[in-house]
Amino acid sequence: MRSNIVILTVIAVFFYLCAAVYTVWHMGSYDGRIEWAGTLGMALVGVMCTLIAFYLVLVHRGQHGELAMDRLDAELDEDDPDQGHFSPWSWWPIALAGALAVMFLSLAGPTFLIPIGAGLLAIVMVGWVYEYYRGNFSR
């Protein structure tokens, strides 16, 4: 994990430098005007790399060092067997993808699909959240 943090930090610095060089180069070539699309695009990629690196620093600090899955010399038995709770039989993620597809399709085409997609999205989210509170799998 520490190598990922270093790599993302190097990439962020690279994009910050690219944004600065691009801005100076464009100002020198075009009468001192700034080309905002390229400058902001490269600077925002640097910001996103910085945010991801910061998140990884917080995760590394929160788990108190490296886990066994992060080390190359670790054995299979050293890791925690409980990785979380997953429901392989759930159909709700597929329904969520369909509802989001309808929503994004409505942005590009027929706008009457916006309330239909929003309604489907609300139904699917409620169904996915309350999946384990009804039926055969209720707790």
Confidence of residue 139 (pLDDT cuts 50, 70, 90): low
Say what the pLDDT of residue 2 is.
77
Q: Which amino acid, residue 17?
A: L
Say what the pLDDT of residue 138 is.
67
Q: Which amino acid, residue 83?
A: Q
Is the CB of residue 34 less than 8 Å from the CB of residue 27?
yes
Q: Which residue has the higher pLDDT, 69 or 39?
A: 39
- Which among 57, 55, 27 has a CA at the least distance from the CA of 39? 27
CA distance 136 to 87: 13
pLDDT tens for each residue of 46-100:
999 999 999 999 988 887 777 777 778 888 777 777 767 777 788 999 999 999 9
Distances from the Cα of 62 to the Cαs of 51, 57, 124, in angstroms?
16, 9, 33
Say what the pLDDT of residue 19 is.
96
What the block records as the tokens of 55 is 């998140």
